[in-house]
């Protein structure tokens, strides 16, 4: 038996750019694609250890072009910017949905700290900003 939340409904809304997930405990979330992308659990985003996270910019218009199941515990979204290495467990999707307001605010603060405005960083592509994640290209 699973110790974490189990989804009972899952929908990708390409027009409104949100992922709708309902869980067996009654919780329902509508998670923006942009939030999913900037908090991807991949090494490209999180780095290979604490403090190696790479700020994701220019993801306001990102889409999801496909979703692959990963066992019985999660999914792997394929984003329109070709990012597809993040495995989102059901538990992590639940956390993103539950904590999205705080996570969104933290992301906007990181943009500001990096010298972007809250809005420009959402449109500014990192490749034109001269940043590199961990020394190699993904």
Residue 136 has pLDDT above 50, yes or no: no
**To 5 degrees, how large is the angle CA 123–CA 31–CA 4?**
140
pLDDT of residue 52: 86
Nearest residue to 124 (alpha-carbon basis) of 53, 59, 75: 59
User: Beta strands of the chain (E only): which ranges?
Assistant: 7-13, 18-23, 28-32, 64-70, 74-79, 88-89
pLDDT tier at 118 (50, 70, 90 boundaries)?
Answer: confident
The DSSP-derived string for 100-131 is: HHHHHHHHHHHHHHTT--TTHHHHS-HHHHT-
- Average pLDDT estimate for 109-127: 83
Share of the chain above pLDDT 90, in %: 74
List phi, psi (to 5°) of 120: -65, -35
Q: Report how far apart, in Å, the C-alpha atoms of 48 and of each of 41, 65, 74, 120, 132 are.
A: 11, 26, 21, 27, 14
Contacts of 104 (CB under 8 A, 6+ apart): 35
57-91: pLDDT as tens digits: 999 999 999 999 999 999 999 999 999 999 999 99
Q: How high is the pLDDT of residue 137?
A: 35
Exposed (0-12), middle (13-18) or buried (19+): which is 2, by Cβ within 10 Å? exposed
């Amino acid at each position: 038996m699973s110790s974490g939340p189990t989804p009972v409904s899952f929908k990708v809304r390409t027009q409104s750019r949100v992922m709708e997930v309902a869980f067996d405990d009654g919780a329902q979330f509508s998670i923006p694609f942009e939030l999913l992308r900037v908090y991807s659990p991949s090494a490209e985003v999180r780095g290979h250890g604490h403090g190696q996270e790479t700020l994701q910019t220019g993801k306001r218009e990102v889409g999801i072009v496909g979703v692959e199941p990963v066992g019985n515990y999660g999914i792997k979204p394929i984003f329109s910017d070709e990012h597809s290495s993040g495995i989102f467990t059901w538990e992590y999707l639940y956390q993103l949905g539950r904590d999205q307001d705080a996570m969104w605010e933290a992301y906007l603060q990181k943009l500001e700290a990096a010298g972007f405005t809250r809005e420009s960083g959402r449109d500014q592509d990192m490749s034109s900003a001269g940043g590199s994640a961990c020394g190699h290209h993904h």
